[in-house]
Structure 1
Amino acid sequence: MSALSGSCASIGPSIPRTRRPSRRSPGCPVLSVAVTESRTGPAHHAVESANGIFAAWSQTLTDSLTRHGVELEEAEALATLIVCSVEGSVGLCRVEGSTRALDQVETTLIRAITATLPGEN
């Protein structure tokens, strides 16, 4: 992904687009736990941890958006959209073997964030 510019850059760090060779499976381990383990099964502690991580990411984004003048309810909704969009695109990137979905999500989220920030639209 390209670096964010303008006010969007201050909302959160940009995600590097460079793909580095790795022996690990591509994808998000937090999402993997969330979609493969049961909330009531033997790995329920891992699911609870994944829930906490997603909540922390959303809260960090919400806090940043509200510091930039976005109303709390709208900031929470946009934070949820950002986390869900990025995490969902990871699965598509993995099966496609490309960054196409993440690139498209980046472009769309920059538009959404810019439209939401006071004085940016």
Structure 2
Amino acid sequence: MSPRKGGSRDRMVLSAALLLREYGASATSIDRVLGHSGAPRGSVYYHFPGGRAQLIDEAVAFAGDFIGGLIENMMQGDDPVEAIDAFFSMWREQLVESEFRAGCPIVAVAVESNDEAPQLARSTAAVFGRWQEALAAKFVRHGLPEERGKRLAAFVVAAVEGAVIMCRAEQSAAPLEAAAAEIHDLLTYALRGLPDTGPAQRP
């Protein structure tokens, strides 16, 4: 999907999400979004009467739904371990292709203080919560107790996000690869080591 296709509102939301990945929330200004999206200046307050805070908030929701959809699609397979491996691979590909410039737009907003727009912290927390729910539901369906499934889901999201930040700092995929290997082993033990209750089990 290109930021220059579709209506000006959609282009601006997409551009804001893409810019957040590379530059963070503070540097994702209205002017930068307009330049990236090609939207007319007059459309800003027509589409976003709440100004920049509303635009960033909607970009968070858009990015959260997009990544959440990828997670849900990956979780449709029989093996949750393979699904998590694919999730890490997706992030590695994004980092490498962007030469370690593009991180997670949700983290970009979450790590900055948003005293003037406290709804942004709530929005990022809600996105992380939805991702964790999708992962936990899969783990529980494959035999884990609900509480353990929730803890593992939170750990996977935290490991991915932390590793992505480290990769950008180090300009290397090594932290993500290390996290992926450890999570793989942990989930293999937790899920495939259970009694045979589902398609993810291995003899």
Same-fold status (TM-score > 0.5): yes
TM-score interval w.r.t. the shorter chain? 0.7 to 0.9
Does residue 1:72 correspond to 2:146, yes or no?
A: yes
Q: Which has the higher contact order (CA 8 A, sep 6+)?
A: 1
Q: Cα deviation per residue 1:10-44 (whole Å; 9 max; x = unaligned)?
A: 5684333332247x942111112111123xx1121
- Deviation string for 1:45-81 (max 9, x for gaps)? 2211100110001101100100111110110110111
Task: Tell me which protein shows more helix as a share of its residues.
Answer: 2
**Which residue is 2:110 aligned to?**
34
> Which structure 1 residue ranges, 5 or more long, are not aligned?
1-5
User: Deviations for 1:75-112, whole angstroms, at most 9, x for unmatched residues?
Assistant: 01101110111111111100100110000000000111
Q: Distance in 2 between matches of 1:54 and 1:21?
A: 23
SS at match of 2:135: helix
Query: Secondary structure, in 3 states, of the residue corresponding to 2:111?
Result: helix
- Contact 2:84–2:184 at 8 Å: present in 1 too? no
Pairing 1:61–2:135 present: yes
Partner of 2:82: 9
Q: TM-score, normalised by structure 2?
A: 0.50
Separation in 2, partners of 1:86, 1:33 = 16
Q: Which runs of 5+ in 2 are unaligned?
A: 1-77, 196-200
> Is 1:20 aligned to residue 93 of structure 2?
no
For 2:179 and 2:136, how far apart are their aligned partners in 1? 18
What is the Cα-based RMSD across aligned positions, in Å? 2.3
Cα distance between partner residues in 2 of 1:98 and 1:47: 29
Whether the 8 Å CA contact 1:11–1:65 is kept in 2: the answer is no
CA gap of 1:70–1:93, structure 2 versus 1, over 3 A, is: same
Q: Which amino acid aligns with 1:62?
A: A
